[in-house]
């Protein structure tokens, strides 16, 4: 990248959308290099909440939540009188009950915003910062196991927030092991989109249990996804692409999203090129294998049985 270009976009490839208010220093990736892999089955000690309701998201989304609280205070009398509104059609609603129970499918302006999108193994955060401006009203979280890499993403978001006040306040990152701790952070049915971009392939058969898409974890992801929520995967490793397709295809709680639906979905168009790994694959002319599945409301066999019974009755 030329020094001029680096000065203009902070070295991150993001075009400033507004006139810069101040000259903001962006983090440099070379100072945040980490080991290529981290064993997700290691028992590294992470500080995790016992239950999702014990976790305070204020540090992750300070402006977003502050604005919501202020709106609450202003609107309290109106909110008490107004009927509850439904979720946005694209599943990007941010609101959920402030109560400790699982979120319901409907939401009202008085319900506390919750994280709806997660980018699992977000790496250097390329997808997250793109999604943030496309879905500015949706809270989203990148989850990354490597400390220096997650620190880079934290600095990257902080720099973007300073540079473009009012933007990127809906995106944040957390260092954690997503293979172990998702239920500590999210309620049943809370998430509407889960992204798995270029996950580590763990080639050796003995290490397949480290793969982040497997039948057992898909059941956990189905638990956290709202019915109708989407799980996005992409890989440049043909064998891993096929592995993820077959695990999703055979799972009773997922069905494949059609190409027509994908073509109309802004997030699906970002899978191949938004993240740093995707850009590397594209530079090397590599092929990619995309598999996107929808969380069904009920197990597929049960749905088929119900359909057959209904047909018999008709």
Ligand X SMILES: C[S@@+](CC[C@H](N)C(=O)[O-])C[C@H]1O[C@@H](n2cnc3c(N)ncnc32)[C@H](O)[C@@H]1O
Annotated binding site: 121, 144-145, 177-178, 197, 275-277
Quote the CA–CA distance of 88 and 236 in Å, as a whole number: 33
- Chain residues binding ligand X by CB under 6 A are 38, 40, 121-123, 126, 143-146, 149, 177-179, 197-200, 212, 275-278
Q: Could you tell me which residues are annotated as the binding site for S-adenosyl-L-methionine? A: 121, 144-145, 177-178, 197, 275-277
**Residue 256: strand pairing partners:** 293
Identify how many contiguous H helices and E strands the chain contains and give both numbers: 10, 7
What one-character-per-residue DSSP string does 266-291 give? Answer: TTGGGTTTSSHHHHHHHHTT---EEE
| Token pair for 2 | 């030329």
Catalytic residue set: 200
Quote the CA–CA distance of 3 and 86 in Å, as a whole number: 48
Quote the CA–CA distance of 168 and 263 in Å, as a whole number: 25
C-beta separation of 110 from 139 below 8 A: no
Determine if residue 308 is left, alpha or beta; phi over 0 gives left, psi from -120 to 50 gives alpha, anything else beta.
alpha
């Amino acid at each position: 990248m030329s020094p001029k270009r680096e000065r203009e976009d902070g070295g991150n490839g993001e075009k400033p959308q507004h006139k810069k208010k101040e000259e903001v220093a962006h983090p440099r990736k070379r100072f945040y290099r980490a080991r290529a892999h981290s064993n997700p089955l290691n028992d590294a000690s992470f500080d995790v909440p016992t239950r999702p309701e014990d976790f305070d998201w204020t540090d992750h989304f300070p402006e977003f939540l502050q604005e919501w609280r202020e709106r609450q205070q202003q609107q309290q009398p109106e909110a008490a009188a107004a009927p509850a509104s439904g979720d946005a059609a694209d599943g990007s609603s941010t609101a959920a009950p402030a109560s400790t129970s699982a979120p319901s499918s409907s939401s009202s302006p008085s319900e506390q915003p919750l994280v709806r999108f997660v980018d699992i193994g977000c790496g250097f955060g390329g997808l997250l910062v793109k999604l943030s401006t496309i879905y500015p009203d949706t809270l989203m979280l990148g989850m990354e196991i490597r400390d220096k890499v997650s620190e880079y993403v934290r600095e990257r978001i902080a720099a973007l927030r300073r540079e473009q006040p009012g933007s990127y306040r809906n995106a944040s990152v957390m260092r954690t092991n997503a293979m172990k701790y998702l239920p500590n952070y999210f309620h049943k049915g809370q998430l509407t989109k889960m992204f798995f971009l270029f996950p580590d392939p763990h080639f050796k058969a003995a290490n397949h249990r480290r793969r982040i898409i497997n039948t057992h974890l898909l059941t956990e992801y189905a638990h956290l996804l709202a019915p109708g929520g989407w799980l996005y995967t992409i890989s440049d490793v043909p064998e891993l692409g096929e592995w993820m397709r077959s695990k999703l295809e055979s799972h009773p709680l997922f069905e494949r999203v059609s190409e027509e639906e994908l073509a109309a979905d802004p997030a699906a168009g970002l899978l191949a090129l938004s993240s740093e790994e995707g850009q590397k694959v594209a530079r090397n002319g590599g092929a990619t294998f995309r598999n996107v599945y929808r969380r069904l409301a009920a197990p597929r066999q049960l749905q088929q049985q119900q359909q057959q019974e209904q047909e018999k009755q008709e």
